[in-house]
Structure 1
């Protein structure tokens, strides 16, 4: 049809949609098929490839140090606020299906015990004990200032485990933030490419039309 402007077709995408290998980025400057936005996207990818590991390791060590200091202080506070005392089983503890096994040595079962609180009053409570203990057996429990049974203070292994968890979470957060930043930049540049293509096509397409 004379005078009709053919519909614009979107420009082809660059060969790489994700983070590209940094050794190939230097060639983009000499490739006439790449747009300015393609080269910009490559520079963003290279910058993120360099920055994300550095920032991730920094976040890992910073979060790990902060978490370790926090949990050490918490454990020290627990050791000062709690104390160990002796309690006596009121009933037999349940037996493990495999007595003497490694699992039996690790498992604990809830049992009712009797203990004396700091005020000298006798009270009953529930705590976890080894399987197979007979009624009247003595067990060591941690109690707070009110005489209530509490979890024991965190040990070194627990502090290390929780510290590593926070450190790893901080590192992964930086990695995901870097991936999201690259994805967002790619979407913005893609929209810019489409807008520029529409403008250029509107100027070029009329010169391609022919009269019948």
Structure 2
């Protein structure tokens, strides 16, 4: 709003310089670009990210299967073993030797990471496998995909706004430097005669 009122104030001001008007127009152009370009970039990137992540989530949900595994024996346990994909980020994980049946009925046994409480021999826990029974990571949740898309949109909008503002500041800096250089040249011409009688100053 200050930019628009500044432009209006400079319209008929007798002290207005061409550089003052140019700087005001530059500020207005930067404001319009931030208000239009940044949200548009955020919406486009967020929409594309949402589509890609939701498609990936659907593919993973179709290709990965939840099965129940049985603990054969524990391999190791560390309090630093946490599940980064859990909602709280603090679910304890333990590496165990487990046995399970794949979606195709095949039997499997091997080292996997068990979530939840400390496992014990004979205990059961859920895990995810591919179509052949091989252990895989949990499929992407559609809600998590939406959160990632929103974050991508917000980050893109902020980056676009920062880029426009940086370009505006660089252009303004160059304009001010040119104006100062012009003033310096004018001062060099007028400076030696400043205050002399009959020098026309």
TM-score (normalised: structure 2): 0.78
If asked which structure has higher relative contact order (CA below 8 Å, sep 6+), I would say 1
**Counterpart in the other structure of 1:16:** none
User: Cα gap change, 1:189/1:94 in structure 2, threshold over 3 Å: closer, same or farther?
Assistant: closer
SS of the residue 2:175 aligns to = helix
* Match of residue 122 from structure 2: 136
Unpaired stretches in structure 2, ≥5 consecutive residues: 80-86
Paired residue for 2:84?
none
How big is the shift at 1:133?
A: 4.6
**2:67 aligned residue (62, 81, 85):** 85
Task: Find the residue that maps to 2:128 and give its secondary structure.
Answer: strand
Q: How many angstroms does 1:148 deviate by?
A: 3.2
State the alpha-carbon separation in 1 of the partners of residues 5 and 158 from structure 2.
Answer: 25
Residues 186-210 of structure 1 deviation map (CA, whole Å, 9 limit, x = unaligned): 1110111022112212222232264
Partner of 1:131, secondary structure, is coil
Residue correspondence of structure 1 range 18-37 to structure 2 within 5 A: 21-37=3-19
Distance across 2 between alignment mates of 1:186 and 1:194: 12
Which ranges of structure 1 fall in alignment gaps of 5 or more residues? 1-18, 96-102
1:204 is aligned to 2:190: yes
**Which structure: greater strand fraction?**
2
- The one of 171, 190, 194 aligned to 1:185: 171
Q: How far 1:91 sits from its partner (Å)?
A: 4.0
Are 1:110 and 2:94 matched, yes or no? Answer: yes
TM-score where L is the length of structure 1: 0.74
Shift of residue 35, structure 1, vs aligned partner: 2.6
- The number of residues matched between the two structures is 185
Partner of residue 22 from structure 2, selected from 40, 64, 67: 40
Give 1:12's aligned residue.
none
1:30 aligns to what SS in structure 2?
coil
- Aligned CA RMSD, in angstroms, stands at 2.9
Q: Where do 1:119-130 residues align within 5 Å?
A: 120-130=106-116
